[in-house]
Structure 1
Amino acid sequence: MRLVRRDAFSFSPLRTGERMAPGLRRCSRLVVRGSTAPAAGAPSKPLKASDRVRLGDSELLVSTCCLGTMTWGKQNSEAEAHQQLSYAWDMGLNFLDTAEMYPVPTEAATQGRTDTYIGTWMRGGGRRREEVVIATKVSGYSDRATWVRQPPRTTRVTREQVVESVDASLRRLQVDHIDLLQIHWPDRYVPLFGSGPYDVGQERPDAVPFEEQLRALEEVVRAGKVRYIGVSNETSYGVSEFCHLARAAGLPMIQTIQNAYSLLVRVPFETDLSETCRRHHVSLLAYSPLAGGMLTGKYDKLSAQQLQAARFNLFPGYMARYKQSAVQEAVREYDRVAAKYGMSATELALAWCKSRWFVSSTIIGATSMEQLKENLAAFDKDIPDECAADIQAIYKKYKDPTVNP
């Protein structure tokens, strides 16, 4: 396989069975061109979406594009999920992201169905286990989605619930281990999904301590059920606490953080999380790079009938922040920049996200094969300096317009 230089640091991949010496840093931006044989009709050269990056200080080499799965079982059938998986792997991807609560919006009748679809694809000969890097997520604190646990109860990041979650995920996925287990959102109070400033009145005195969470995760790692751990929807404080405590107590280190990042959601990661994660060798898995589809520009173009099936209408509260006039104005300006440089709005958004030095892998999600193909092809686009300057000019005018509507 061929190494593709992304920054000032490049390291050869670890050989099978090789472990890193204590204290040795592996750059999470290593890029390795995958050697997967192309499918019939595939491009003559591998897509950049199939480039390989190392996650944190782990041995996981994953594609720079990660296949998101949260619509499977709600907006997509099992057959459609299998079709997406097979096509993505034919194009060189090796990384997928799921969660115990998927599909979303989560409900008791469908919870876990996404995993089940992945499991039937794996068991049906989709790919050998070693060809698929599976990331999943254990739910943080929630007193609403109680059906995720049996018997139903508030979800917490405790030893009992981490073990229960992992065992249930393994059964649905039909595998004997998970490559990356992430805490889906914090057990403690944290403002989530653009809800605005931190509110001390929302703090919960019974939040599970960081060390207790790490020891729960250590148990499933030691049992061989999980290879590596990570976090999601986390803050600089949370990342630092997990990392400092892990080092002090000899517990597993978090390797990844999965947070929202896009042209419309930049400030939380760019201001201080980027430095925090760099210092602790934690790789960003950027989710919602198209802002739930808003950055495709499609919400100005779809018919009334098509809009009824669009993702925003499945999230009347959660997605409300993306419908603000300031958001729509920003999207139209980004759309004009895309046209100026010969790109679609989708290509601009995904190419820009991929180009950021702190983004290791970008998570895409598609409800149709047409969307999936466009998303994967977008990784072959690059952002010229002039285009980046135009993007920055818009950003100064519309800085994170989705926050605190």
Structure 2
Amino acid sequence: MKKVNIKNTDLEIAPINFGGNVFGWTLDEKQSFEILDKFTEGGFNFIDTADTYSWWVNGKGGQSETIIGNWIKERKNRDKVVIATKVGSETKEHGFDISKKHILKSVDESLQRLGTDYIDLYYTHFDDNKTPVEETLSAYDEIVKAGKVRYIGASNVSPERLTESFEVAEKNNFPKYVTLQPHYNLLVREKFEKDYAPLVEKYGLSVFTYWSLEAGFLTGKYRTEADFDKTSRGAGIKKYFDDKGKAVLAALDQVSAKHQSQPATVALAWLLANPLVTAPIVSATSDRQLQTIFDAPELKLDSEDLSILNNAGK
């Protein structure tokens, strides 16, 4: 598996980022261990989680980090994996919060759950849009200097606050964000391409897309109105089952048939064909889904494929 470098870091990753939101939610610890074992055995090494996964189960989260930490402890492989986690998201216990007090408290809690003394990549998960940028970055400066965090990234931060963060970091010699985690996929494109892509290029950010398969819509498993009532995520993405969504599914079918592949693999390969995307974030709960992920970096789409996919639904 050819590794890629996260820009402005010494971190090397295989070009798929496993989304750990399923750990402690749709997968129990035993099942999570099995998926993680197979993911790393496939040559992949990048795992993404958050301190609040899966807060929707218990109101506060922490399950995903705990499971990953238990797996690392049992497998004794901390030096072989790159771990990203996040701070600032809302739970039933607190609102969005990237204050210095919350970051300093949360990073220690994440380290304890993960059973490690350092986090490779630590994200601002959600901006609270009230904490001064200087305060947030000074907290990151403190924990980076303490060796608790190696690098920082941003997710769900507005273009304006992201730009301000770079200006403040430059002025105060604070750590700079090295990665961006945006909501971006074949179906949801405009915000990233219009507002964030120029900043990605300007600041040399590595991009890890979340909802890369739009909660399963781009796998092609939703083909009728009734299909959306069969899964827990169906109701949230039913809005995409319009003319545009159907056109995107048809394009995925066309390209996957040509390559004897799966729609999900094609959707991930489309992301990987974008020079601004370093690695899509995607989850799997079965061997079949995992193979779909494994196939994506090997699938090279040609100009005709990309034209079909890029123009779908326009």
* TM score, norm. by length of structure 1: 0.73
- Name the residue aligned to 2:140: 217
Structure 1 contact 214–251 (Cα < 8 Å) conserved: yes
- Name the residue aligned to 2:92: 146
Counterpart among 50, 63, 70 of residue 120 in structure 1: 70
1:137 aligns with 2:86: yes
- Name the residue aligned to 1:161: 102
Please state how far the C-alpha of 1:139 moved relative to its aligned partner. 2.0
Q: Secondary structure at the match of 2:167?
A: helix
CA distance in 1 between partners of 2:288 and 2:302 (Å): 26
- TM alignment of 1:101-120, pairs within 5 A: 101-103=52-54, 106-108=56-58, 111-120=61-70
- Name the residue aligned to 2:151: 228
CA distance in 2 between partners of 1:248 and 1:352 (Å): 38
Please state how far the C-alpha of 1:60 moved relative to its aligned partner. 1.3
Counterpart among 91, 107, 115 of residue 174 in structure 1: 115
Please state how far the C-alpha of 1:69 moved relative to its aligned partner. 1.0
1:370 aligns with 2:291: no
Structure 1 contact 74–110 (Cα < 8 Å) conserved: no
Please state how far the C-alpha of 1:331 moved relative to its aligned partner. 2.0
Alpha-carbon deviations, 1:349-375, whole Å to 9, x = none? 011111100001111101212101221
| Aligned residue pair count | 314
Please state how far the C-alpha of 1:378 moved relative to its aligned partner. 2.2
Q: Percent identity?
A: 31
Decide which structure has the larger Cα Rg and report it.
1
Q: Secondary structure at the match of 1:288?
A: coil
Change over 3 Å in CA distance of 1:382–1:265 after alignment to 2: same
CA distance in 2 between partners of 1:90 and 1:291 (Å): 26
- Higher helix fraction: Structure 1 or Structure 2? 2
Structure 1 contact 297–332 (Cα < 8 Å) conserved: no
Which runs of 5 or more structure 2 residues have no equivalent in the other structure?
A: none
- TM alignment of 1:301-380, pairs within 5 A: 308=230, 310-313=231-234, 316=235, 318-324=236-242, 326-380=244-298
Please state how far the C-alpha of 1:341 moved relative to its aligned partner. 4.2
- Name the residue aligned to 2:198: 275
Change over 3 Å in CA distance of 1:371–1:307 after alignment to 2: farther
- Name the residue aligned to 1:197: none
Alpha-carbon deviations, 1:73-120, whole Å to 9, x = none? 11111111101111111111111000011126x243571111111111
- Name the residue aligned to 2:47: 96
The letter for the 2-side match of 1:287 is Y
CA distance in 1 between partners of 2:106 and 2:237 (Å): 27
Structure 2 contact 96–127 (Cα < 8 Å) conserved: no
Q: Secondary structure at the match of 1:88?
A: helix
Q: Secondary structure at the match of 2:257?
A: helix
The letter for the 2-side match of 1:146 is K
Please state how far the C-alpha of 1:282 moved relative to its aligned partner. 1.2
- TM alignment of 1:36-51, pairs within 5 A: 50-51=1-2
- Name the residue aligned to 1:193: none
- Name the residue aligned to 1:255: 178
RMSD (Å), alpha carbons: 2.1
Structure 1 contact 62–94 (Cα < 8 Å) conserved: yes
